[in-house]
Structure 1
Amino acid sequence: MAFEIKKYGAIDIGSNAIRLLIATVTLYNDEPPVFKKTSLVRVPIRLGQDVFVNGKISQENIDRMVDSMKSYQLLMGVHKVKTYKAYATSAMREALNGTDVVAKIKAESGINIEIIDGSHEAAIIAMTDLHAVIDQEKVYLYVDVGGGSTEFTLFAYGKEIVSKSFKIGTVRLINDMVSKSLWDEAEAWIKKITNAYDHIDLIGSGGNINNIFKSSGKRVGKPISYFYLVNYYEQLQNYNYEERVYHLNLNHDRADVIIPACRIYLRAMKWSKAKNIYVPKIGLTDGIIKSIFNADKR
């Protein structure tokens, strides 16, 4: 009998937060591997606010990143993580001092960070295990909303058709840094790729849609409707920032970006004529774990 347990780590350095996912993969004979999230740690360091406004990461946030990576390194050691990958996305790839920060983190924490582009990010996200959500007979637009960018991927009848990253992110939006022409470009692209299909559902990923799904009270695997999302969006706008934190129990770094996140999902649904959005609670870190496992098998 063959039985093996492996532990992997995935670090996602985003524009709104930095996450560490530690996952356990169980192998048993010739059965499919079982992936289980062992630990998820999120630190609300908003790199996008630095980069999109001032062009580089501030000294304060560099220090916070170094401390975070030191703690992540310790956590992975305690969990006996075999292999890890650390990827930085939109904010880090645009930061003028991005490569210097990567070098400093490597020197002080031992964590090696790779800055990836939007297409690589979308490809990793597409590696996530969507079999529990995707019906092989249906068409889906996968929408991953981040602080600096949004990745769109079209799946039709079980296959990935096309993917594209746009610099439309929640942190950019709260700083009024997304032009009408970029919105128009995203609209035209989504309408073009979805026009041939009669019925499309959305699959949403990202911390904001996970939070919205949780508040909906829906069972796992059930979608939330376009009309629910519209009503929730209107409810959010009826509260100011402090009221959203207090009355809706939102994290302080979530209470502002959740509104533009809603706007992105709603527009994607409108442009693709989707009536429902499924929220499987998967994202970049899950894709990183899957990519490490696949490379480890070779």
Structure 2
Amino acid sequence: MIEQKKFAAIDIGSNAVRLLIMTITEQEGKEPLFKKTSLVRVPIRLGADVFISKLISEENIARMVDTMQAFKLLMRSHKIEKYKACATSAMREAKNGEDVADLIQHKTGVKIDIIDGNHEAAIIAATDLNALIQSDKTYLYVDVGGGSTEFTLYSSGETVASKSFKLGTVRLLKKNVDEDLWEEVEEWIKNVTRDYPKIDLIGSGGNINNIFKSSGKAVGKPLSFLYLSSYYQLLNSFTYEERITELNLNADRADVIIPATKIYLSAMKWTKARRIYVPKIGLADGIIKSLYQESIEEQVG
């Protein structure tokens, strides 16, 4: 006898807004199975406004309202039992972020939680990451977004340290990151990894997922530092237009992929990591895992 539930997560990032729908299959005596049913991505790029003017523009407010209305209809069509919408760096820094969230709830009924970087890192840690981490190894998990990057160090299956920095791809494109911040990130990574002689990276985010897909590597196999470094040089050898036409990148991916790759390569250099694993998980996956855990606790309670 099996039972299936459908949950959804809305991830409102600085570069794009995503709706992830998952089907969870429960079978007595077995671990639940989580299957991605649908993923919709809308490239609104809130950070382009916020990291310059500290405000979400009227145009993007209107796009957000339309997108949330569309997401609500999609969730209804999929017969979603539970959902949660989380907004990250751009909306939490926007002076009108709370007002925009209130407007969206009033117009669409979709409630948005604006979360801080540490909360974001904690939600991501609720994903299937633990299933990927070998207890006798050390990993630095790097989640690169448009407005921030979350770093988490895992060793012997436990979280050693975690920190969020305002080092994001859209921020870097807008030249909104001081050299001091790069130095701060480097110092933090070197300090927390000092006692671990061998470290692998785990990367998440749309950009590293895209690079992994183009590599043709089998699922579960890592990318090497040499491969990522060579790909970074290839990206830089093309113009923005050529990255769209020659590498078949979306217009909103063709620019941010370069600063994203720089962040992953920097983290690999500072940890002396030679490999990066790309499990294709992120904030939306973590939101659904936490929603499911809440539903289990409610049943027990």
CA distance in 1, matches of 2:293, 2:29: 15
SS of residue in 1 equivalent to 2:25: strand
Which aligned pairs between 1:104-253 and structure 2 lie closer than 5 A?
104-253=103-252
Asked if 1:62 is matched to 2:61, the reply is: yes
Structure 1 unaligned regions, length at least 5: none
> Partner of 1:43 in structure 2?
42
CA distance in 1, matches of 2:131, 2:29: 20
Instruction: Work out whether residues 8 and 84 of structure 1, in 8 Å CA contact, stay in contact via their aligned partners in 2.
Output: yes
Instruction: Work out whether residues 141 and 203 of structure 1, in 8 Å CA contact, stay in contact via their aligned partners in 2.
Output: yes
Task: For 1:210, give the aligned amino acid.
Answer: N
CA distance in 1, matches of 2:220, 2:75: 31
Relative to the length of structure 2, the TM-score reads 0.98
- Write out per-residue CA displacement over residues 3-58 of structure 1, whole angstroms, 9 at most, x where no aligned residue: 21111010000000000000011110021010000000000000000000111000
CA distance in 1, matches of 2:6, 2:296: 14
SS of residue in 2 equivalent to 1:119: helix
SS of residue in 2 equivalent to 1:242: helix
Identify if the C-alpha distance between structure 1 residues 132 and 220 changes in structure 2 by more than 3 Å, giving closer, same or farther: farther
> Partner of 1:96 in structure 2?
95
Percent identical pairs in the alignment equals: 64
> Partner of 1:28 in structure 2?
27
The alpha carbon displacement at 1:253 in A equals 0.1
CA distance in 1, matches of 2:104, 2:291: 21
Task: For 1:293, give the aligned amino acid.
Answer: Y
Task: For 2:286, give the aligned amino acid.
Answer: G
Structure 2 unaligned regions, length at least 5: none
Instruction: Work out whether residues 149 and 165 of structure 1, in 8 Å CA contact, stay in contact via their aligned partners in 2.
Output: yes
Task: For 2:96, give the aligned amino acid.
Answer: N
Task: For 1:35, give the aligned amino acid.
Answer: F
- Write out per-residue CA displacement over residues 70-119 of structure 1, whole angstroms, 9 at most, x where no aligned residue: 00000000000000000000000000110110011001111000000000
CA distance in 1, matches of 2:31, 2:5: 14
CA distance in 2, matches of 1:261, 1:195: 24
Relative to the length of structure 1, the TM-score reads 0.99
SS of residue in 2 equivalent to 1:248: coil
Task: For 2:94, give the aligned amino acid.
Answer: A
CA distance in 2, matches of 1:146, 1:123: 15
- Write out per-residue CA displacement over residues 188-229 of structure 1, whole angstroms, 9 at most, x where no aligned residue: 000011110110000000000000000111000000000101
How large is the Cα RMSD of the aligned pairs?
0.7
- Write out per-residue CA displacement over residues 156-184 of structure 1, whole angstroms, 9 at most, x where no aligned residue: 01111110000000000011111111111
Instruction: Work out whether residues 133 and 278 of structure 1, in 8 Å CA contact, stay in contact via their aligned partners in 2.
Output: no
The alpha carbon displacement at 1:236 in A equals 0.4
Which aligned pairs between 1:63-78 and structure 2 lie closer than 5 A?
63-78=62-77
Task: For 1:223, give the aligned amino acid.
Answer: P
How many corresponding residue pairs?
A: 297
The alpha carbon displacement at 1:133 in A equals 2.4
- Write out per-residue CA displacement over residues 127-186 of structure 1, whole angstroms, 9 at most, x where no aligned residue: 110244211111000000000000000010111111000000000001111111111110
Instruction: Work out whether residues 151 and 163 of structure 1, in 8 Å CA contact, stay in contact via their aligned partners in 2.
Output: yes
CA distance in 1, matches of 2:266, 2:172: 14
Runs of 4+ in 1 over 4 A off after TM superposition: none
SS of residue in 2 equivalent to 1:26: strand
Task: For 1:119, give the aligned amino acid.
Answer: N
SS of residue in 1 equivalent to 2:252: coil
CA distance in 1, matches of 2:13, 2:21: 17
CA distance in 2, matches of 1:193, 1:92: 29
SS of residue in 2 equivalent to 1:160: strand
CA distance in 2, matches of 1:158, 1:55: 39
CA distance in 1, matches of 2:157, 2:15: 31
SS of residue in 2 equivalent to 1:120: helix
CA distance in 1, matches of 2:114, 2:130: 28
> Partner of 1:10 in structure 2?
9
